[in-house]
Structures are given as C-alpha cells and as structure tokens.
Structure 1
Amino acid sequence: MNHLQLEKLLNQFLKPELIKDYAPNGMQVEGTQDVKKIVTGVTASQALIDAAIERQADAILVHHGYFWKGEPEPIRGMKGRRIRSLIKHDINLYGYHLPLDIHSQIGNNVRLAQLLNITVEGGLEGHEQSVSLFGKLEKPLTGEQFSARIEQVLQRAPLHISPDYMNKTIETVGWCTGGGQDFIELAASKGLDAFISGEISERTTYTAREMGIHYFAAGHHATERYGVKALGEWLAAEHGFDVEFIDIDNPV
C-alpha cells in the first residue's frame, strides 16, 4: 500500500481529529512510498528502530512517537540519531497517542479491560472520548487477589497502595493506561473500589489511603503494549500487511 494511503486508512480507523493531543498523530517521518512490512511497538526508541532496520521494515507504527508539545525542536543528539536512522533506511514512522488509548475496539484501555476481565461500563469523564474508563469485575476480589491477577496478565508485579480500610474488597474499577494516575481522585469521588494506571506519583499514595480506594501502578509500558499490538493485528488480518510486534523491555 502507498504510505499516504496507509496514513489515511489509520486516520479513518483511529479518528485522531476527535481528540486534542500532545503530539502529531499520523505520519511523523516519511519514508518509502510502498509499505509491505510493518514493525509495531510501544515507543519509537533507537532499539525499536534498529530492530525494524534488521527486519527490513518499510514502516514503524508506535504509540509514543516524536515531536511532543514542549520538547526541544532541534534535530540533534538522541533525537537526531533516531531520525537519521529512519531517513537513511527509508522507513516511515507513524505515531498515534491518545487516539490509540481511547479507541473502542483496539484501544489500550479497552484491551486492558479485556485482559483483566473487567466489563466496561463507560468513560470516567462522562463522554465518549474519555481517556479513562470504569467498569465492573465478574465477582468481588480482595486487593491481593486483584494484584495477583494484574501480575499474571502483565507479567510484572504492580505496586499496590491499599486504602486505610484494608479489608475493602474490589468490584468496581476505574483505569487509565500510561500516565493516568491523577484520575484517581475522580475515580474515588465516584465511589469506585479501585483504580489502575501505568505510573504513580508521590501524591497518589496519600490520595488512595485517604479517599478509601485501592490503587495499582501497573507500569506505563506494560499497560500500553496491547493497543498498538492489536492495531497491527488488524492491519494484518484486514489489509494483508506483514506485521511484527516487537516488545522492547522497559520496567517503567
């Protein structure tokens, strides 16, 4: 497929125009016009680029791309090396941030819910483009049981902050993959039993304890592997691309 047609296809599916973002969504670095082999990954790190070069990929599709709001503009240092590698090897880079978090079929939030057996009930912010969701477990679990489920699914132990009422069981859950820890207050104000995000801030501990809600920091990378992987699988199944997901280890 032509590289511009691929961008159009992705835009039609992910609808980036519906949400204001911190980085450009779509093609970020232009490469070869003919795209057959695609590498997908969470972040456009040098390690992912090197892996794509090794596999002779025509395009890289990521959740965390480049040109974030407020970042230095000069193309030098680490940023320069990454972009030079893409241009030298004629590789297209496509990045989709919030559109890949909120998508109702393959988004990071929806995929995490499916993996953890949470039934999605709606957006925590009360609208369709909410970057945080809430839902319900099939049966109540203790904090320790739910922590064990997260560890089994994501293959890493989450940081679990218990509320002051230690024996509170979990049935209703809010979540926001990645750096969504500040939605915890909204989740607690709505009476949810638990909240999950990728990252944790110092203040999150006290919020969980004082507002009576279980909190699980499950890893920014770990919670955001599944949307871009599912997007690649959709491109392969529906449009015949040769797609390979590469998981670059990241403990954060």
Structure 2
Amino acid sequence: MNTTTRQELLAAFDALLQPERFKDYGPNGLQVEGKTQVRRMVSGVTASRALIEAAIDAQADAIFVHHGLFWRGQDGRVTGWMKQRLALLLAHDISLFAYHLPLDAHPELGNNAQLGRQLGLTTISCFGEQSLGFLGGRSDGGSFATPGDLARHIENTLKRPVTQVGPAQAAIKKIAWCSGGAQGYFESAIAASADAFITGEISEPQAHLAREMGVTFIACGHHASERYGAPALASHVAAQFGLYHQFIDIDNPA
C-alpha cells in the first residue's frame, strides 16, 4: 500500500472534477484539513457522524463525500451536530474532501453517469441548468413497454420502492435523469422531449406537471440515486496513487 500527500490528492480530485466550472451551494474540495500523508481513504455519500465514526474504525486518513459539512446560508456556529462531526475529524486528523455539483456532472465517474450505468442507460446529451441533467435511453436501444415497467426496473436495481406519477400506459424510450434533489429539472426534461424523468425526490408541483404533460416522473430516493459517484471516483483516484479505498454506505431512507 502506497501513500500520497493531502495536497496531491486534492490536486487529483480537482483535475478530474473541475470545480471552478460550477456555481454551487457550498465549497468544493478540501473542507477539513487532516494529516499531510494519506494511505487509507473512505468514501461515502454524506459526511454524517455515522460515516465519520466508520471511517475512524477503518483507520482512514481521508474521507471523500458528495455532501460535505458546509452549505451556503447555513448557521455558521460550531455547535451541536456540527461540533460533534468536526471534533471527530480534528481529533483523528482526518481530511474531508467534498464535491457536490462537480461530482454529479462528471461524464464517466459522477453520480448521474454511474446511476445511468446501474440502470442500463446510455447518455446521448445533457440538459438543464449547468448541463447537469443526462438524456438518453436503454443501452440495448430498446424501450420500456410502460412506465410501470421502468419503475419496477429501477426498484429492482436500487433495491427500494419508488414514487411514480404520470401516465399509466405509454412506451418509454427517451429517458432523462438527474440524481438527488433535482425535481426542479423536470420542466427542462419535458422541454427536451423526454418520455420519463428519474431523480431522487419529488415535490408537490411535479405531480401535477407529470399528469398534465403526460410525462412520467419517478423519484427513487435522494440517497439511493447518489450512492455510486463517490465510490467510483474515489476508487479511481485511489488506484492512481495505490491507496487503500473503502466505500461505506450509511443507510438513508430519504
């Protein structure tokens, strides 16, 4: 097992994800500075206390996540849960790397690309604000006979129930998707002539739009739709440096 420096690891993440290209809701990159040398890395979806504790048990020197600790507009005081998480990271000298929209968007290793891969979808183009939405169809060139068939395929793949709204009977060929809380991209997906849109969450307005526009909306869970980017990218970078890497999935029903 090799080692690298914290700065070399940051440079590798930045080179792949190009955070400067994105207008985001929080800082991308190194959020908490740990030890200089990194040998063992853990990845996960969110920098929760449970993940940090699991990383400590795994003797990690660094953690790579999609959802970091700091967000625009949050209370900046270091109290309560924030103090607890930071105290664990600082006490064990663990670096925290977090990339939000840049990890969603990476064309091969990002959340959207990896979700599409899990679902057997091929990307043809991107759509929506900052081109974060992916548009394509089944990798085999076929279609789903009904929206229910697509919903069942997603449930079987992600191992969790989904929320499906829209037409009951319509062939699904052109599929749009954007992981996480991207329900606001639904209108852009409709404008892109998608037959169905897959994301993590649904809000009240999307149910009406799906019914009125005849386009299927499927919410498969924020966490469930974003389980794949962090381990794919962290594993890729760990292999570059010969580091130990472990993905730890902290279950989340949301």
Alpha-carbon distance in 2 for matches of 1:150, 1:40: 24
1:120-199 equivalences under 5 Å are: 120-125=123-128, 129-137=130-138, 138-141=141-144, 142-163=146-167, 166-199=168-201
Alpha-carbon distance in 2 for matches of 1:246, 1:14: 21
Amino acid at match of 1:101: D
Give the total of aligned pairs. 248
- Where 2:11 maps in the other structure, the secondary structure is helix
Amino acid at match of 2:137: K
1:42-57 equivalences under 5 Å are: 42-57=45-60
Alpha-carbon distance in 2 for matches of 1:44, 1:33: 20
- Where 2:193 maps in the other structure, the secondary structure is coil
Percent identity (aligned): 45
Matched, 1:105 2:131: no
Residue in 2 aligned with 1:75? 78
Matched, 1:18 2:17: no
| TM-score normalised by L of structure 2 | 0.95
- Where 1:52 maps in the other structure, the secondary structure is helix
Q: CA deviation at 1:190?
A: 2.5
Query: What stretches of structure 1 of length at least 5 have no aligned partner?
Result: none
Q: CA deviation at 1:20?
A: 1.0
Contact map agreement 1:38 1:242 (CA 8 A) in 2 = yes
Residue in 1 aligned with 2:65? 62
| TM-score normalised by L of structure 1 | 0.96
Alpha-carbon distance in 1 for matches of 2:72, 2:63: 21
Amino acid at match of 1:160: Q
Q: How far does the alpha carbon of each residue in 1:191-219 deviate from its partner, in whole angstroms, 9 at most, with x for none? A: 21000110110111111111110110010
Contact map agreement 2:223 2:253 (CA 8 A) in 1 = yes
Residue in 1 aligned with 2:212? 210
Contact map agreement 2:12 2:237 (CA 8 A) in 1 = no
Q: CA deviation at 1:245?
A: 0.1
Query: What stretches of structure 2 of length at least 5 have no aligned partner?
Result: none
Q: How far does the alpha carbon of each residue in 1:214-247 deviate from its partner, in whole angstroms, 9 at most, with x for none? A: 1100100000010001012202322211000000
Contact map agreement 2:128 2:189 (CA 8 A) in 1 = no
Q: CA deviation at 1:67?
A: 1.3
Contact map agreement 1:21 1:98 (CA 8 A) in 2 = yes
- Where 1:146 maps in the other structure, the secondary structure is helix
Contact map agreement 1:113 1:119 (CA 8 A) in 2 = yes
- Where 1:62 maps in the other structure, the secondary structure is strand
Amino acid at match of 1:247: D
Matched, 1:9 2:12: yes
Matched, 1:229 2:231: yes
Alpha-carbon distance in 1 for matches of 2:40, 2:192: 45
Amino acid at match of 1:130: S
Matched, 1:28 2:44: no
Amino acid at match of 2:142: K
Greater relative contact order (CA < 8 Å, ≥ 6 in sequence): 2
Matched, 1:38 2:41: yes
Contact map agreement 1:188 1:212 (CA 8 A) in 2 = no
Residue in 2 aligned with 1:242? 244
Amino acid at match of 2:253: P
Q: 2:88 aligns with which of 78, 85, 89?
A: 85
